[in-house]
């Protein structure tokens, strides 16, 4: 949209800009950060035609505009909200707004329509439309200056020091509006001394010092990169303002409230595959010995396989170890695989649903600390920073999800908004009120929220930039729809399971072509679910995991039943951590409905205790256009049961399913003998929720 080449500017003999080169792409929000006197306002005045450049070229939408008048620039699609607001104090709010479009000579009807739009975006201005601008507060005058610029409906909006002299609360409100403008498609160049504000509100950034550009890149990278922060942002202090280059230029008002969070990293320090394998071998030896000495169940399994802790000499010995399964967890209930004394346990978590007894796992404090660090690594991989506001819309309680999402969020220093699942109206209200930048949920919840935001026309009123989701599969088309309806949000699929700490065991690559899993915390194998033999990298099979540091309930070759494949070779994103494809399906008959893990046998056991129902049933899973999952349960009446009992049976079966599985099913009763019989295994579950490719 805008290209600036070798731009120079002078005030008399004093040179203010020295050969600036910049470009702005349509739809971007670009920050220009620098100290007083760095040349920021001069650049904006050159763009608007208020200062004539002494050299170089400005091209706007392919058209050379160097030296054009301010009126011409407004007509071409630029508008400026100047430093210091510069409202006309003796004119009313409405008249100030009218002046913003004066160069366009609009019809009265169109002018009135645009003013009404400004009042809708800035309700405080609407309440003061006839008030003199000079009587407004500083924040209200800044809103008026921005509204006046927006009257021209600019293709490129220039904002010069919007937070200057304003209270933090007012600054928060203004930057929320800047976020909303960017999400609605307005291209913005914002000039700011408050580096943290500008970088968190923009896509890309230029750092300006002494009339020269000294750094350019993605705003997030500049904000979190330790070297750049030390060079330009983070090293200055009130005692030593010259400790950074911008500090030396006089920029001492950068306030980052969580300074330690910015420098702390949870990304693994391992730098090579060889180093990772050595770490894994050490962890595998420790895990086998820890389990052998601490768990009678593991000792019995290992003894039966002829394995002692000293048997493990290399990673090639891993397939010799016996597999662990759901059955081992059920048989050891309520503390399966426990390998430490009870006094070392600090928490339990359980799966969201299974056959009979739940899968319960116990944790030591070290386990929880490790899990929190793993989750923090997921957030950092997804680009979450201490300036983000993370709305957590997953389950809390005995389930692992909510606690993991919250602890990891707080660990990276971001603001956690622990809403929990459901309650769409409250979720949307919080998105608007708190201006959440990250939304965490299941895939179906994310789609439901996206549909609702679109239906209510609220896309430009929210600030969600990332959606982190897990718990269930999602197709490419579903992901695309979520992103589009959330206003272009970036999606990250997060993985994990209760048995292996919980969610946070890996996350989608920043290049969005794989899942990076934390190989320094567990080893991942792929086996053939029928032969149980290991499969080579690249082949689809069942995921098997072995923990490397888990104390409370370590896992040795645990069959997750998830179907995926290990992707060989290095990743384009540069991470050394190994990777696998997104989960493709299950090797057993478990299905996930609205975040709850359900086995058909769970349905079977519930229906079997309702007198009058037969033994045969079918489960149909569908997803509507709004992203809501539905379960239709077709059940036979018992032999000889009269049809007039249908309402009674439907009520009782529905009640028991809701009470025991915490989900609602649409029940349908059919006559005895209506459903198919077979000598082979009967298909119980018909899942049509995903129609296109998953990976």
Domain spans of the chain? 24-256, 270-584, 592-687
What pLDDT shows up at residue 60?
Answer: 95
What pLDDT shows up at residue 226?
Answer: 56
3-state helix, strand, coil in the chain (%, to 5): 35, 25, 40
Q: How far apart are CA 129 and CA 123, in angstroms?
A: 10
Q: How far apart are CA 463 and CA 435, in angstroms?
A: 5
pLDDT at 201 over 60: yes
For residues 607-636, average pLDDT: 86
For residues 142-163, average pLDDT: 92
Asked if 629 contacts 593 with a C-beta cutoff of 8 angstroms, the reply is yes
Find the length of the chain: 695
Q: How far apart are CA 385 and CA 264, in angstroms?
A: 11
Instruction: Name the strand (E) or helix (H) holding 391.
Output: strand 389-392
Least confident of 198-207, 231-240, 596-605: 231-240
254 or 394, higher pLDDT = 394
For residues 352-380, average pLDDT: 85
What angle, 0 to 180 degrees and rounded to 10, lies between the N-to-C axes of helices 401-411 and 365-381? 70
- 212 burial (CB, 10 Å; 0-12 / 13-18 / 19+) is middle
CATH class of residue range 592-687: alpha beta
Peptide bond into 334 cis (omega under 30): yes
**What's the Cα-to-Cα distance from 266 to each of 372, 520, 551, rounded to whole Å?**
10, 12, 20
Q: Is 174 helix (H, G, I), strand (E, B) or coil?
A: helix
Instruction: Name the strand (E) or helix (H) holding 97.
Output: helix 93-99
Beta-bridged to residue 567, according to DSSP, are 579
pLDDT at 251 over 70: no
- 440's CB contacts (< 8 A; 6+ apart) are 390, 391, 392, 393, 394, 405, 467, 468, 469
What pLDDT shows up at residue 34?
Answer: 78
Least confident of 415-429, 461-475, 538-552, 631-645: 461-475
What pLDDT shows up at residue 551?
Answer: 97
Q: How far apart are CA 634 and CA 530, in angstroms?
A: 30
Peptide bond into 661 cis (omega under 30): no
pLDDT band of residue 601 (cuts 50, 70, 90) is: low
Question: What is the CATH number assigned to the segment(s) 24-256?
Answer: 3.40.50.300
pLDDT band of residue 678 (cuts 50, 70, 90) is: very low
Superfamily assignment of 270-584 in CATH? ANL, N-terminal domain (3.40.50.12780)
592-687 shares the fold of 24-256? no
Q: Is 43 helix (H, G, I), strand (E, B) or coil?
A: helix
Instruction: Name the strand (E) or helix (H) holding 19.
Output: strand 14-24
What pLDDT shows up at residue 258?
Answer: 43
Asked if 363 contacts 320 with a C-beta cutoff of 8 angstroms, the reply is no
Predicted TM-score (pTM) of the model is 0.65
Mean pLDDT of the chain: 86
Strand ranges (DSSP E) for 451-586? 466-470, 490-497, 502-508, 515-517, 522-527, 541-547, 558-564, 566-567, 579-580, 585-586
Of residues 346, 414, 348, the one with CA closest to residue 376: 414
């Amino acid at each position: 949209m805008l290209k600036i080449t070798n731009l120079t500017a002078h005030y008399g003999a004093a040179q203010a800009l020295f050969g600036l080169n910049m470009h702005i792409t349509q739809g971007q929000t670009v920050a220009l950060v620098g100290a007083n006197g760095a040349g920021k306002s001069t650049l904006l005045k050159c763009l608007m035609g208020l200062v004539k450049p002494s050299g170089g070229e400005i091209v706007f939408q392919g058209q050379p505009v160097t030296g054009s008048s301010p009126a011409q620039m407004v007509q071409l699609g630029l508008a400026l909200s100047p430093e210091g607001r510069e409202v006309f104090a003796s004119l009313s709010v409405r008249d100030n707004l009218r002046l913003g479009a004066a160069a366009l000579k609009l019809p009265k009807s169109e002018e009135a329509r645009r003013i009404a739009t400004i009042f809708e975006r800035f309700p405080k201005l609407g309440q003061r439309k006839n008030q003199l601008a000079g009587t407004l507060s500083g924040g209200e005058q800044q809103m008026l200056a921005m509204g006046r610029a927006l009257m021209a409906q600019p293709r490129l909006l220039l904002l010069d020091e919007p937070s200057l002299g304003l209270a933090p609360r007012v600054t928060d409100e203004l930057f929320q509006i800047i976020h909303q403008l960017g999400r609605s498609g307005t291209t913005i160049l914002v000039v700011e001394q408050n580096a943290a504000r500008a970088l968190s509100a923009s896509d890309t950034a230029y750092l300006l010092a002494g009339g020269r550009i000294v750094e350019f890149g993605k705003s997030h990278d500049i904000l979190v990169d330790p070297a750049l922060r030390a060079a330009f942002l983070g090293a200055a202090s009130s005692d030593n303002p010259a400790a950074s280059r911008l500090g030396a230029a006089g920029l001492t008002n950068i306030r980052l409230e969580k300074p330690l969070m910015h420098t702390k990293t949870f990304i693994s320090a391992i730098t090579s595959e060889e180093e990772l394998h050595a770490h894994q071998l050490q962890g595998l030896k420790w895990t086998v010995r820890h389990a052998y000495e601490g768990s009678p169940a593991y000792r019995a399994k290992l003894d039966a396989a002829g394995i002692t802790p000293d048997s493990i000499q290399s990673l090639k010995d891993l397939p010799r170890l016996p597999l662990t399964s759901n059955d081992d967890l059920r048989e050891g209930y309520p503390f399966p695989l426990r390998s430490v004394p009870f006094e070392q346990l600090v928490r339990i978590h359980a799966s969201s649903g299974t056959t009979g007894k739940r899968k319960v796992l116990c944790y030591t404090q070290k386990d929880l600390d490790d899990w929190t660090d793993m989750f923090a690594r997921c957030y950092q991989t997804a680009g979450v920073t201490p300036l983000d506001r993370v709305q957590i819309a997953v389950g809390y309680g005995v389930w692992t999800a909510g606690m993991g999402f919250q602890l990891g969020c707080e660990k990276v220093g971001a603001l956690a908004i622990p809403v929990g699942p459901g309650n769409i109206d409250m979720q949307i209200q919080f998105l608007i009120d708190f201006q959440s930048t990250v939304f965490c949920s299941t895939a179906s919840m994310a789609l439901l929220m996206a549909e609702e935001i679109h239906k209510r026309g609220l896309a430009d009123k929210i600030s969600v930039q990332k959606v982190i989701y897990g718990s269930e599969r999602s197709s490419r088309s579903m992901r695309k729809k979520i992103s589009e309806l959330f206003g272009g949000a970036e999606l990250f699929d997060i993985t994990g399971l209760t048995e292996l700490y919980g969610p946070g065991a890996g996350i989608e690559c920043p290049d969005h072509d794989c899942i990076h899993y934390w190989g320094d915390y567990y080893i991942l194998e792929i086996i053939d679910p029928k032969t149980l033999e290991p499969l080579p990298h690249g082949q689809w099979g069942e995921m098997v995991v072995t923990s490397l540091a888990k104390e409370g309930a370590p896992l040795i070759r645990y069959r997750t039943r998830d179907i995926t494949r290990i992707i060989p070779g290095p990743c384009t994103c540069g991470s050394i951590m190994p990777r696998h494809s997104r989960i493709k399906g299950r090797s057993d008959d478990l299905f996930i409905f609205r975040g709850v893990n359900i086995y058909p046998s769970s349905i079977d056991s519930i229906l079997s205790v309702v007198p009058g129902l037969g033994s045969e049933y079918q489960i149909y899973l569908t997803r509507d256009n709004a992203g809501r999952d539905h379960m239709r349960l077709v059940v036979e009446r018992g032999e000889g049961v009269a049809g007039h009992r249908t309402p009674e049976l439907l009520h009782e079966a529905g009640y028991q399913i809701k009470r025991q599985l915490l989900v609602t099913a649409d029940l349908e009763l059919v006559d005895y003998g209506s459903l198919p019989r077979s000598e082979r295994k009967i298909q119980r579950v018909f899942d049509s929720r995903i129609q296109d490719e998953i990976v």
